[in-house]
Structure 1
Amino acid sequence: MDASDLSALLWQERALLDQLLLNLETQAFLPQGGSESGLPLLREQLENIIESLRLVELARSVELSSLAKEWKVPENFTLGGLAASAPTGVWTQILEAHLAAMTSQALLILGLQKSIEDLPHKTVRLTREKHKKRTDPLLSSSTASEPKAATDADDAVVMQQNFQTETPQGLGEALPGTLQEFLGLSALRG
């Protein structure tokens, strides 16, 4: 095993991160389109992507251990540390390019994940504000919309409850912590 095997694994990991990013983007925007019928399929795909990421991560760990012995560097380092320890400038450039791309992907994923987790809370808050505006006699001259506003608020609460029960266990950790550590992003965890 050599650095080219590690690079191939990093390419696989990058492809999975792209799939994860696309899945999260779709989950973030699908409810805004008014249809949630695709969410169960997206969640199943998310779980499969996360499982595949874990398997590639395990293979990467094994490859890193072998490469660390070959390059005579400690086994517990970040991708940036490995790039700095590379014996040739070519491998430094290749590993730094992987680091830059994967870090960018990881930051986008973490941001989208946070948005998705916050979406139900924002929806409930905005619906309640809308309901208050419609039912407050000082803010609204008509009370004919009260039943609709009350229904909207109830629907938002139900949506929030459904989201919390339907969200896959892995969404809280869509980006494995060990990958965050490998990329040097462990300070962003939690």
Structure 2
Amino acid sequence: MVGVPSPRLDPNEVTHVSATDLSMQLLRQREVLELMLFKLEELEMLLSTGRTRWIAHATAEVDRVAKALTAGTIERDTLFVDVAAEWGVPEATSLRELIDVAPTDAWREVLGSHHEALSSLAAEIAEKKGSVNQHLRTALRVTQETIAGLGEPTGEYAASGSRVAGAGSRLLDVQV
């Protein structure tokens, strides 16, 4: 409307809104990281039990969660810049640095809680990723050894200890 003055925002209220938005985004990021940990755990279970039928689906889900995490990171970084500007620190401030300059104990506690949870989840994900990668390397090695052994004697033995000659039993049946 013409002639109606725009309302003035209290600077403390602006800080509260931006900091609240950042806190909510950090909470969403925690949820996505928890989902990533779950998907990696799922993939690890499939690999460790030999249920290879679902590996492609599980890896596609991990990729989808990774893309969601990337998209959320862009929004989080924008909110970091806003809060850093409001709190009078450089825009390239880390979460740890933002905690140190938070205007109240409540914000230090809230942001500190996010930092602790995000750090813990990141460590768990790194550990789980290493385990999944080890399972994948093992599966690849077994597959390569199986393929390399096609057409060679299997070295299988009967219950009596004698070698089973010409049995042709393999992971992949080449005698059709």
TM-score past 0.5 threshold: yes
Partner of residue 118, structure 1: 134
**Which among 32, 36, 43 is matched to residue 20 of structure 1?**
36
Greater shift in the superposed pair: 39-48 or 103-112: 39-48
Partner of residue 46, structure 1: 62
Partner of 1:73, secondary structure, is: coil
Post-superposition CA distance 1:39-91 (Å, at most 9, x none): 22212211211111111100011111111110001121221111111111111
State whether structure 2 residue 98 is matched by structure 1 residue 82: yes
Partner of 2:52, secondary structure, is: coil
Partner of 1:72, secondary structure, is: coil
Following superposition, the deviation at residue 120 of structure 1 comes to 3.1
Structure 1: which 5+ residue stretches go unaligned?
A: 136-140, 155-190
- Map residues 98-113 of structure 1 onto 2, 5 A cutoff: 98-113=114-129
Q: Distance in 2 between matches of 1:44 and 1:119?
A: 17
**Which among 50, 60, 67 is matched to residue 76 of structure 2?**
60
- CA gap of 1:122–1:71, structure 2 versus 1, over 3 A, is same
Greater helix content: 1
Tell me the percent identity.
24
Letter in 2 for 1:69: A
Letter in 2 for 1:89: D
Q: Distance in 2 between matches of 1:12 and 1:114?
A: 25
Structure 2: which 5+ residue stretches go unaligned?
A: 1-16, 156-160
State whether structure 2 residue 31 is matched by structure 1 residue 31: no
Q: Distance in 1 between matches of 2:119 and 2:51?
A: 32
Root mean square deviation, CA, Å: 2.8
Q: Distance in 2 between matches of 1:42 and 1:72?
A: 44
Largest Rg, 1 or 2: 2
